[in-house]
């Protein structure tokens, strides 16, 4: 699917939902993609990208930033506290704030560095034991805890269970965000981004639909 086709489908979903056209940001998920594929999307003018691993992002994006202006990098994978500083130096947004220890580390580093990326709190809407994120019942408390540290919490993020209807999880995330006064909703991927837009997504994370199947590099 072409980048333009995906953007057109996002805009169509916004219109259908009665939303302002253009308010949903498309994050092109470039994890495990060869540089040539990423460069092709950059050459089309797209500037918002998502990476899962800090180490991979650090090896890829400094060189691209020397050649392309206004790149916004979003970290969408689990973040270890010992990688927090590097993540904050690289990324304009972190979508996976999921525990008090990480919040405290980011708050301390933000004081040191004088800056902090936008933050999204990951909510484990499916309450899956193998998945990161705060449980829905604990989300309100954690949001308040993070805000009390003066962290720039923009919104919430979720990854619905594969076997369940994602719209139920998107609706739950939107409900938690609304009652906490948060405007950002990072939800929706290649297979369900239109349903996410219909339920208020401000950021959709699309990888395979843009780049094709992931191509792990060997050696």
**pLDDT higher than 60, residue 215:** no
Please, which pLDDT band fits residue 214 given cuts at 50, 70 and 90? low
Which residue bears the tokens 């939303």? 19
Q: What is the pLDDT of residue 219?
A: 37
Kindly tell me if the per-residue pLDDT of 181 is higher than 50.
yes
In angstroms and rounded to an integer, the radius of gyration of the C-alpha atoms of the chain is 17
Contact criterion met (CB below 8 Å) for 166 and 160: yes
**pLDDT (tens digit, 9 = 90+) per residue, 115-159?**
999 999 999 999 999 999 999 999 999 999 999 999 999 999 999
pLDDT tens sequence across 76-122: 999 999 999 999 999 999 999 999 999 999 999 999 999 999 999 99
Contact 204, 189 (CB under 8 A): yes
User: Mean pLDDT across the stretch 44-58?
Assistant: 97
Provide the pLDDT for residue 218.
44
């Amino acid at each position: 699917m072409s980048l333009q086709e995906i953007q057109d489908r996002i805009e169509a979903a916004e219109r259908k939902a009665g939303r302002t056209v253009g308010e949903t940001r498309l994050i092109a998920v470039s994890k495990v993609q060869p540089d040539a594929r990423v460069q092709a999307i950059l050459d089309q003018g797209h500037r918002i990208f998502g990476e899962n691993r800090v180490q991979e992002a650090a090896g890829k994006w400094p060189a691209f930033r020397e050649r392309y202006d206004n790149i916004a990098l979003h970290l969408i994978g689990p973040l270890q506290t010992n990688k927090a500083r590097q993540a904050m130096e690289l990324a304009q947004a972190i979508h996976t704030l999921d525990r008090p220890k990480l919040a405290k580390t980011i708050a301390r580093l933000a004081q040191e560095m004088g800056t902090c990326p936008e933050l999204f709190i990951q909510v484990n809407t499916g309450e899956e034991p193998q998945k990161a994120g705060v449980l829905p019942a604990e989300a309100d408390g954690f949001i308040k805890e993070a805000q009390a540290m003066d962290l720039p919490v923009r919104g919430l993020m979720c990854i619905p269970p594969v076997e369940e209807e994602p719209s139920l999880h998107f609706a739950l995330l939107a409900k938690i965000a609304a009652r906490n006064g948060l405007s950002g909703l990072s939800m929706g991927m290649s297979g369900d981004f239109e349903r996410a837009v219909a339920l208020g997504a401000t950021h959709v994370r699309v990888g395979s639909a843009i780049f094709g199947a992931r191509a792990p590099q060997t050696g």
